[in-house]
């Protein structure tokens, strides 16, 4: 049986993942919280999952790499530095990084890329997301991933087109840009909409998560898939065969 270790095990996702491990036919290799030695579970586990915090990721990747243990990175709020760390670790171990472990969001990414490729830049694109009041990063990892899908469809990069947090006298919209809107409140698990707006019509592609166990099941599925993979950087699309 595959033994799964969890970084951020006491958090909302960590607890939800722990609940899913047994019924997926795997075992729990142990958890790790801030202040614990990350190398202990890296050596005990066949595969690791990280749902902790961006500032913690480097130590977790170092521990995974030293132990030769594959790792699923579900933590969001990552910047260029963390992505470079993931790329470096992926030279030696299998690393799967995703802002969303659900099947629906992976498929949504494909539909969004296709829509962006087929609709001209006279169709404005905006992405909205809503999450629970405890979420600390914005835009969500999923929203950024969907923004990257728009950019790929348009043959550009997200950095080239993104507009964050409009406020005040910002002027009229610049053609070809992509705006993000983030809402926070209550216990919302995770809602995302990609809105294509043209003169006189709008196309909205949306995903709503009803239960956090959805992400936990996806994380365990990704971990089991990753456990014996060759070194490299993988995506949820690889797991799902999309
Ligand atoms: N990819 C996906 O599908 C999903 C990704 N997420 C992402 O997962 C992450 C966690 O979310 P969530 O569970 O809701 O958040 P929580 O705040 O509930 O959990 C995070 C956990 O990580 C712990 N932690 C913080 N720093 C460290 C550290 N240095 N070493 C080990 N553990 C640490 C926290 O401990 P403490 O409380 O003591 O700080 C806490 O227990 C977020 O980035 C979120 O956006 C969430 C859902 C789905
Ligand atoms: O913090 C959360 O809860 C979630 N985070 C992920 C993200 O940032 O996209 C995925 C999901 O929407 C829930």
Q: Is 207 in the pocket of ligand 2 (CB under 6 A)?
A: no
Determine the atom of ligand 2 nearest the C-alpha atom of 12: 3
Classify domain 3-101+213-239 by CATH number: 3.40.50.720
Q: Sheet of 162-164: strands edge to edge?
A: 162-164, 178-184, 124-131, 190-198, 201-209
> Which candidate, 57, 2, 53, 60, places its Cα nearest to that of 29?
2
pLDDT in tens, the chain (242 residues): 999 999 999 999 999 999 999 999 999 999 999 999 999 999 999 999 999 999 999 999 999 999 999 999 999 999 999 999 999 999 999 999 999 999 999 999 999 999 999 998 899 999 999 999 999 999 999 999 999 999 999 999 999 999 998 999 999 999 999 999 999 999 999 999 999 999 999 999 999 999 999 999 999 999 999 999 999 999 999 999 98
Residue 215 C-alpha to ligand 2 middle, in angstroms? 9
> Which candidate, 3, 39, 41, places its Cα nearest to that of 24?
3
Q: Are strands 178-184 and 162-164 parallel, antiparallel or unpaired?
A: parallel
31 is in an annotated binding site: no
Ligand nearest to the Cα of 14, by number: 1
- Which residues pair with residue 203 across a beta bridge? 196
- Which residues pair with residue 133 across a beta bridge? none
CA–CA dist 75, 98 (Å, integer): 8
How much is the pLDDT for 204? Answer: 98
Sign of CA dihedral 62, 149, 190, 236: negative
CA–CA dist 118, 116 (Å, integer): 6
How much is the pLDDT for 154? Answer: 97
Residue 56 C-alpha to ligand 1 middle, in angstroms? 10
- Map out the domains of the chain as residue ranges: 3-101+213-239, 103-209
Q: Whose CA is closest to atom 4 on ligand 2?
A: 190
182 is in an annotated binding site: no
106 is in an annotated binding site: no
Give the predicted TM-score (pTM) of the model. 0.97
Residue 171 C-alpha to ligand 2 middle, in angstroms? 31
CA–CA dist 29, 14 (Å, integer): 13
CA–CA dist 67, 103 (Å, integer): 30
Clarify whether 83 is annotated catalytic.
no
Is CATH 3.10.20.340 the right assignment for the domain spanning 103-209? no
CA–CA dist 22, 2 (Å, integer): 10
Clarify whether 131 is annotated catalytic.
yes
Q: Is 212 in the pocket of ligand 2 (CB under 6 A)?
A: no
Q: Whose CA is closest to atom 1 on ligand 2?
A: 135
How much is the pLDDT for 234? Answer: 98
Asked if the ipTM is above 0.85, the reply is yes
Ligand nearest to the Cα of 216, by number: 1
Q: Which residues contact 201 (CB under 8 A, 6 or more apart)?
A: none
């Amino acid at each position: 049986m595959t033994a799964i270790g969890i970084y951020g095990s006491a958090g909302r996702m960590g607890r939800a993942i722990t609940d899913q491990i047994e019924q997926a036919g795997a075992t729990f290799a142990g958890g790790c919280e801030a202040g614990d030695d990350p190398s202990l579970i890296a050596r005990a586990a066949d595969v690791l999952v990280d749902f902790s915090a961006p500032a913690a990721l480097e130590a977790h990747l170092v521990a995974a790499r030293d132990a030769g243990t594959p790792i699923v990175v579900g933590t969001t709020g990552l910047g260029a530095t963390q992505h470079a760390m993931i790329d470096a670790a992926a030279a030696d171990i299998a690393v799967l990084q995703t802002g969303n472990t659900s099947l629906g969001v992976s498929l949504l990414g494909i539909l969004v890329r296709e829509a962006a490729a087929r609709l001209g830049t006279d169709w404005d694109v905006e992405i909205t997301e809503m999450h629970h009041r405890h979420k600390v990063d914005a835009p969500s990892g999923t929203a950024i991933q969907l923004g990257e899908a728009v950019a790929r469809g348009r043959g550009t990069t997200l950095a080239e087109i993104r507009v964050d947090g409009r406020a005040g006298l910002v002027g009229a919209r610049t053609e070809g840009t992509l705006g993000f809107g983030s809402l926070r409140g209550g216990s919302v698990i995770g809602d995302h909409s990609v809105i294509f707006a043209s003169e006189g019509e709008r196309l909205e592609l949306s995903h709503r998560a009803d239960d956090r166990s959805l992400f936990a099941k996806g994380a365990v599925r990704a971990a089991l898939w990753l456990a014996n993979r060759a070194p490299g950087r993988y995506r949820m699309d690889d797991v799902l065969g999309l």
